Structure 1
Amino acid sequence: MDVGELIQAIQTLNTEDAFRPRLDAAQWRLFTQYLTRHELTSGQALVTQGERDRTMYLLGQGSLQVHVTGGAPGTSRIGIMRPGAICGEPGLFADAPRMAHVEAMTPCVVFALRLPRFEEMAARTPAVALEVLRAAGAVMVQRTRINLTRLVPSA
C-alpha cells in the first residue's frame, strides 16, 4: 500500500467522524511526507489505554477495534475503524494518557504522524499543519458528541 491509497481511503470514508482536511493535491503530497508506514498483525496493539504517546494514526488497510477497560459491563467496546479513519488524534493536542485501547482486528497498514514530525511540518508548511490540526480537532469534537449522545438518554 502506498500513500496514494491512503489518501483515497481518507477521501472516501463515509462516517460521521471522518477526517476531512481541506488539502489540494500538492498539500496532500507535503502532508504524507511526514508520515511513517507500519504494518500490524491481527490482534496487535496500536494504542494502549493509559500510556502516553504523542502520535496520531491513519488507517490505510484493515480494521481496528477500539475498546476501554474499567467501564461498566457491556460498555468496553467503542467501535471498529475502517480504512481512512484516524485514531490517537488527542495526542497531537495534549500530553495525556491514552483513553482507549486500539488493536488490529485484521492485518493492517497504518501511517503514524508523531508529534516531532508534526512540529517540523508546522515550521515548514504551517498552512498544511493548521489544516491537519483543524481536521483532527473536528474528529475529536464529533466523537465527543457521539459518545455523549450514547450516555445521555433522550427525553
Structure 2
Amino acid sequence: MNAPLPSTLRFDIQGLAKAIAHCHASDALRCQLSQPNWEILASYMQPFALNSGQVLMEQGAQDRTLYFIESGTLSVHYQDEKSRVRMAMVGAGSVVGEGAFFSHMPRSATVQASTACKLWCLTATRFLELANRHSPIALELTMAMGAVMAKRLYNRPKRVAVT
C-alpha cells in the first residue's frame, strides 16, 4: 500500500492545512483548526505517499481508517452487482474513508491514486484517543467530515466517493 518515500519528499502538517484551506471543491474538508491544533492532530496521524496507480482501499474491505489528501488525486470506483461501474475523483483538501468510519460497514468502493499523492491517515483507534484527550479537535473533525459526507450523498455523481 505505501510507496517508498523519496528522500526529497517531506511531510509537514501545514501542507495539509494549506491544501484544506485552499480547496474549492464542493466536497472540500472545511476544518477550522488553529496551527497548534493542526500540530496536535498531526501527532495522531501517519503521513505516507502513493504512486500513481497504487490502490489505497478495496471495495468490501473491513477498515475504518480516514485518509486526508494533501496533494494529488484519487479515483473512486464502485462496481454494483450488475458489474456497472461508477467513478468519482477526489483531490487535495478533501478526505476519503468517512463512510466506513461512521458506519462501521465495509468499504463501499475501491480507491486508487490517479496521480502521485501525499496522504495522512487517521485510524479509528487513534481518533478515539484524540477524542479522549482533545475533544474540541475531534468534534471539529467529526463535523467537517459529516459535512463532506452529506455533500457527497446529496450530489449523485459524488455519492460513489463516500467510502
Q: TM-score, normalised by structure 1?
A: 0.88
Distance in 2 between the 1:98 and 1:47 partners?
A: 8
* Counterpart residue identity of residue 102, structure 2: F
Q: Who is 2:136 aligned against?
A: 127
Cα separation, 2, equivalents of 1:96 and 1:149? 19
Q: In the alignment, what sits opposite 1:79?
A: 88
- TM-score, normalized by length of structure 2? 0.84
Whole-Å Cα distance in 1 between the matches of residues 118 and 100 of structure 2?
A: 20
User: How far apart are residue 62 of structure 1 and its match?
Assistant: 1.5
User: What's the % identity of the aligned pairs?
Assistant: 36
Alignment match, 1:26: 36
Q: 2:76 aligns with which of 59, 63, 66?
A: 66
User: Does the CA contact (< 8 Å) of 1:17 and 1:139 recur in 2?
Assistant: yes
Q: The residue matched to 1:97 in structure 2 has which SS?
A: coil
Q: CA deviation at 1:119?
A: 0.3
SS of 2:155's equivalent in the other structure is helix
- Return the match for 2:48 from 31, 38, 41: 38
Partner of residue 23 from structure 2, selected from 4, 7, 13? 13
| Number of residue pairs aligned between Structure 1 and Structure 2 | 149
**Secondary structure of 2:106's match?**
coil
Unaligned runs of at least 5 residues, structure 1 = 151-155
RMSD, aligned α-carbons? 1.9
- 1:7 positional shift: 0.9
C-alpha offsets along residues 30-82 of structure 1, whole Å, 9 cap, x if unaligned? Answer: 11221101111211110111111111101112111011112667x62331121
When residues 149 and 91 of structure 1 are mapped into structure 2, their CA distance, relative to the original with a 3 A threshold, is: closer
Q: Secondary structure at the match of 2:66?
A: strand
CA contact (8 A) 1:56 1:90 kept: no
In 2 relative to 1, CA 25–52 (structure 1 residues): closer, same or farther, beyond 3 Å? Answer: same
The match for 1:153 is: none
